[in-house]
Amino acid sequence: MAIIRVIWGLCLVVTLLLVSGEAQAGPLANRIAAFPHWDGKPAVASAKGDLVYPDWMEGTWLVTSTLVEQVAPLAPTVVTPGFESNRSHLNQPISFPVRFHNQQPLLSVISSRFLPFTRKGT
């Protein structure tokens, strides 16, 4: 009898999920659809506090990141500082340490800031 209740419960959940209405595009999708006719900046809430990471990320990590492509969708109207000089970093691995530590008052893991970084192989 319990198995039948579980099966009926699952069927009810699936039915509710399938007929709960159609998905609607969010603000980002609407903004992308309106490109290039943007009338100002998007409405974005200000971030409050630190970005919290899972506990297993606590410690010091060595990260290697490689820039594999440069894209400037708004060029030449909008020129990003440093865009041209970053071409020299294409396909060059950059290694840098990242430290995540436990913040005592909240007991949550956050990223440390201002760690020096160097290019891999130098």
What is the mean pLDDT, run by run of 10 residues, along the chain of 122 residues?
83 72 68 80 77 88 93 84 88 92 69 59 54
How crowded is residue 98: how many other Cβ atoms within 10 Å of its Cβ?
A: 14
Does the pTM surpass 0.75? The reply is no
Q: What's residue 61's pLDDT?
A: 93
Name the residue with tokens 């891999």: 120
Instruction: State the virtual CA torsion across 23, 46, 36, 39 in degrees, nearest 10.
Output: 110
Q: What's residue 22's pLDDT?
A: 62
C-alpha 100/C-alpha 63 separation (Å) is 12
